[in-house]
Structure formats: C-alpha cells, structure tokens
Amino acid sequence: MQAKPKLRIGYGVDVHQLAEGYPLWIGGIQLPSPLGAVGHSDADVLIHAICDALLGALALRDIGFHFSDTDPKYKGIDSKILLKEVFRLVSEKGYGIVNIDATVILETPKVNPHIEQMQVVLAGILNLATDEISIKATTHEKVDSFGEKRAIKAYASALLYEL
Ligand code: MG
C-alpha cells in the first residue's frame, strides 16, 4: 500500500457583528469605516477564519479553545498575535503552509483596495510569499444581516505539508 501524502487541509469560518464606535480590523490592517466589528479581541474576522483553517488542518480544535473569549488576557488583543501563536503551533507539529485561500463578506466599505496590504501583513507573519495567500472579497447583495451591514463574515481554507 502506498503511503499517504503528508498533506492536511483545513477550513475556517468566522462572523462578527458590526456596530458604530468600533474599529474595523480585517487581515491585520484597520480600514476606515463608520462601522466596526464587535468582539472580545480586535474582532479581525479574516485572521480568525485563517486561524481556524490552520488549526483545523491539524485537528488542533479551534481559536476559542486556545484563546477564550472570556479571558481578560485576550480583551482587545491584536489578532496578529493570535495568528503568530497558531503558526507556532503548526510549526511545532512539524507542518508548513502550502497556501491559504480566503473570502471576506462585507457590504461596505470596499475591501478590494486593501487586499495587497493584507497579503503583505499576513504573509510576513506566516512566512509565505504574498501569492501563497489569496484574499477575495464580496458583498452580500444587500440581503440578510451581511447585506444589511449588521455583520461581517470570512471563510478560509489552508493546505499544510509535513516539513
Ligand atoms: Mg472571531
């Protein structure tokens, strides 16, 4: 019998409410917006989805398991710190990242003009080339909570290889 290829796939999804008076962090950068994401941390929905994709690929549970949303230690924390810790767990398990593909669902503001900057920030943390981390953006066509600007959502997939 042939040995299995040493590849692992994972996916993650995250949602945060939007409200006035909160900053809007997506992919490690702050976007100018009257509405921001509500959460215990900085509520960076894209980074949270990527964290869950990376953890999921190695059956390492989920972001809430590692960083409790009731722990005061994580109140307002920069999600880039959480992503660094998740990457450390992945490396510790003996895996590297092949690539990541993600989608952000947000009605407004436009995410597209900021994607290149997000790629640079996230690639730096995860030791990837910018073309190994794909970020896509779409609106929700004005329908449901996302289309009504009441929430933001992100999906991410990650492929890992054994080092
Ligand atoms: Mg979250």
Q: Is the pLDDT of residue 1 over 80?
A: no
Measure 129 CA to ligand 1 centroid, in angstroms: 25
CB contact at 8 A, 163 and 157: no
Q: Return the CATH number of the domain spanning residue range 7-162.
A: 3.30.1330.50
- The pLDDT mean for the chain works out to 96
Q: How far apart are CA 44 and CA 24, in angstroms?
A: 8
Share of the chain above pLDDT 70, in %: 100
| Burial degree of 135 (CB within 10 A; 0-12, 13-18, 19+) | buried
Q: How far apart are CA 128 and CA 35, in angstroms?
A: 31
Measure 104 CA to ligand 1 centroid, in angstroms: 13
Query: N- to C-terminal Cα distance for the chain?
Result: 22
CB contact at 8 A, 74 and 68: yes
Q: What is the DSSP letter of 4?
A: P
pLDDT of residue 140: 96
Measure 152 CA to ligand 1 centroid, in angstroms: 10
Answer with the residue of higher pLDDT: 45 or 71.
45
Measure 78 CA to ligand 1 centroid, in angstroms: 12
Measure 2 CA to ligand 1 centroid, in angstroms: 39
Q: What is the DSSP letter of 133?
A: E
Chain Cα centroid distance, residue 105 = 12
Q: Give ion ligand 1 contacts, CB < 5 A.
A: 14, 48
Domain map of the chain by residue range? Answer: 7-162
Residue pointed to by tokens 């790629």: 119
Q: What is the DSSP letter of 62?
A: -
pLDDT of residue 78: 97
Q: Indicate the SS3 state at residue 47.
A: helix
18-41 average pLDDT score: 97
Residue pointed to by tokens 């073309």: 131
Tens of pLDDT, residues 116-150: 999 999 999 999 999 999 999 999 999 999 999 99
Q: How far apart are CA 143 and CA 90, in angstroms?
A: 37
pLDDT of residue 25: 98
